[in-house]
Amino acid sequence: MLLASYNHLDPVMSSLLVDVVATAGLLALAVLALRLSLRLRRATALADASFRANVALGPGEGVVLGTVEREQGADVAVRVEVEQKGVELASSVSWRHGGAVSWRHAWTETGRKVRAHPFYLRHASGARVRVEPGEDVMLVDALDGMILVDRTKRVRVAELVPGEEAFAFGELRRAPDPEAPPLGYRERAQGYVLVRPRRRRMLLSSEPFGEQFARKAAFRLRWAIIAGVASLAFNAAFAPFHARRWLGETVEVRVTQLRESDDDRGSFDVTMLGPHGVAFSDEVPIPTSTGSAGAGDCWRRATSRRGRQPARSAPT
């Protein structure tokens, strides 16, 4: 039977808290946040490099800046329609105007539709990069267009239009271009195609990505630092536990007095005698398992080599 000091965790739960949660868990969170921060920093560098006309296109994750051109026969490149419902709300009372109530119109989003079709970006180098967005594409653009259905319903529209400069973030690869002039009989010319990056959404915007990526990278870096510092702080607080676990030794002691506590906490006051006449006293919960401990029983206790208070005990 294993006994732990009153209001103390047993060895298994202590190891779970210190080793798994406070150490492995927080360090894993710090590493993950750091990896995401580094990835976003690389994306920031790619976004900044997209402004330079002499930057060569190459396979891999990156940002492409170019002028929007629709695919042949397509009536749209990417279009997002946000359906909104409006209500009138009383915002304040103007006592200067005889207590008149001031009203305002509040709009809430009720639905969203995305129309995405392959289109092209004319790069500064002259190359046409085919962009193949999916329905989960994220368009970061102003809701310039508006369709008023009635007084309580409207549709706001954001769209990439031909001739507009746009940034696209995705994975660039070489693939057959359906609009490129054929090289020969049944042979299509190869071109650059931008597709959705792995495990991420494609981003399209009329504004640069660099500042947005830099903010996200800094945010994740802060979380990595916080998780690392928290792991160190927790382990510093658990220094007595580490000392007993790695520097302590197991000695045999004998129970000299066992007395139930006077309060209602359900515990025993145990006095024990160890080697060289060293006395130990501790408060332990009343065991719920079969059997009981009494004076004269032999116990094995883990103690510190420096004679600190024992951390746990078990009858032999």
Helix axes 210-237, 26-49, angle to 10 degrees: 160
Q: Which of 17, 15, 10, 1 is nearest to 311 (CA)?
A: 10
Judge whether 305 and 248 are in contact, CB under 8 Å.
yes
Between the CA of residue 47 and those of 62, 207, 208, 262, 284, what are the distances in Å?
7, 11, 7, 71, 62
Most confident of 152-166, 182-196, 268-282, 288-302: 152-166
Q: Of the ranges 86-95, 115-124, 272-281, which one carries the lowest mean pLDDT score?
A: 86-95
**pLDDT at residue 101 greater than cutoff 70:** no
| Cα separation, 80 vs 88, whole angstroms | 26
Confidence of residue 130 (pLDDT cuts 50, 70, 90): very high
- Residue 245, φ and ψ in degrees, nearest 5: -70, -40
Mean pLDDT is lowest, of 89-103, 172-186, 237-251, 264-278, for: 89-103
Ordered by start, the domain boundaries in the chain are: 61-207, 248-315
pLDDT at 150 over 60: yes
CA 105 – CA 99 distance, rounded (Å): 20
CA distances from 248 to 17, 251, 301 (A): 20, 10, 10
**Cβ contact 137:116 at 8 Å:** yes
Question: Which is more confident, 287 or 58?
Answer: 58
- Does the reported pTM lie above 0.85? no
Structure tokens at 312: 């746990």
Burial of residue 274, with CB atoms counted within 10 A of its CB: 0-12 exposed, 13-18 middle, 19 or more buried:
middle
pLDDT digits (tens, 9 = 90+) for 213-227: 788 888 999 999 999
* pLDDT of 251 above 80: no
How many residues can be counted in the chain?
316
State what percent of residues in the chain have pLDDT above 70.
Answer: 77
**Highest-confidence segment of 174-188, 190-204, 299-313:** 190-204
Question: Which residues touch 198 (CB under 8 Å, ≥6 apart)?
Answer: 171
